[in-house]
Structure 1
């Protein structure tokens, strides 16, 4: 019985070399995508879109395969695929089984479950890359501006994946990935896109402890919750009150009062946002940790809250804060586009959704 090999674009490789082969493929596609930037050939944009998407998917699968080869196996894969992934001997004349593997989005989800909880791969960014690739492959739709954006997204994605790799003890050499020929261009794009990807993730029991950790590390209790008697700072009583509040308001099993979202920037938890319906109005609330303020995170969060609120059929988005919360007042003015109105101990703002 002979041990079969993976037939890759760079030659046949042993089964245990699959992570390295996928990584080599990802590097080649990344460099090809950068090299296509200035080409005016009719199919250059399609080639670039394909390489952008192929790089992202191969890179994610390389990381998964290095953790455990079976993580790249798709849900439709049968026993033959499992045996092949395990590298078991096969008859030399027997063809390889159908290789059902995870897609790019699913690969990101699997990787997020397999990595430390405080480091996440931004799935929204990957979704944009996949959309550009699929549009080019399936329909031939290409747009130079969208391709440039997808290329920038890819550079950010590679940077994030390499950070995850370092946490997993895998090789994560940024310069080697791009090669000397393309490193300067990749560095330039990364610097231009230094603003982190911001996502809103529905609050759950799994990420509630992470939200508490972010609040304790980067916010004052009075900025994120109602007053609790006791000495200043995050006492154990305040921590438990924080958890109890969210479990009662957003995670109640039968009648939650509001939707609460964990805000992540660059994959890290940096704050929370909420939407509470009141008839034709939806009240919004946002808090962001001190070290992440003034970076445009709040504006992007409010823009997403407006979309979500409009999707409920509401006519108006409102917000309430206190007179001494300058950050929230600025957000009401700049993010909501509403003039803050002081009414006693409260400052309110409202934005029309229609």
Structure 2
């Protein structure tokens, strides 16, 4: 039976273990450059023991930005800054993928020049985002009603994803992950709770999946299928989106990603955000449609990880919050060591406190 410490061969490379680091927004990139700093280099270096690090969501354009302090990958300065991060991770023996992110409607006009966010449809919703006040403090604000993305804007959006992929390659990333989860733009198109369009991007399941799959094809076209993964979150309840009817879309997307032989399918399970726990029948349906590498994430501990790996429903487990407080998480899981607790007051924004100052295990003599 596979276990967390086993190596794993992905289409693009071999991972040293199956303890992956899930993408997590941390909001440490200074504005207006939105580029990672030496602090990011240290944060990711500390966690290079993961089989694969997936970075925090990284916006593909200014339009795609939703959170003050989130990094981008659409300017030359951002690419140069990310190159220092990837070099640091590689020197430490790790692998790292960048998560390509467009938040859609989960944004605020203050983040990008007073313009509203874009989404599948111009629907009011109960979502919030984080921005900084005049004193530089992180505050939570309501996200206003977005405008509907026009059909004639789709080519420009796809080019934003292509450019981000080219930039990721230039920055030295091992892969890219397309963020199609957690209620952001691509899931806003997939879900009937946020998409009431009547054109070729709305209505039927196939139409609602059209834009996400066009993004996948655009990204593959800039690299190749082996170096592209996608994160999806069927049934998620998050940021004003209730994907209660998401099972059918999840199974459909798994099949379409298999058709394209993408490097992995990253399943973000909904229970971490107050959604239902996935049942094993659904896990089996996803596995039947996607025979490639499946990464499972969401409220996992070692016992749950072992059960899902041994059941054959996933090939690796991505841990989020445990990696915040435990830079050496793979070693702790391997030895059964006690885990540090997360300082939730310092998750978003700030400096090294609650970011790079968590203790690691001391070597035994």
TM-score by length of 2: 0.26
Question: Hey, which of these two has a bigger chunk of helix by percent?
Answer: 1
TM-score normalised to structure 1 length: 0.27
- Whichever of the two has the greater Rg, that structure is 1
Compare relative contact order (CA 8 Å, sep 6+) and give the higher one, 1 or 2. 2
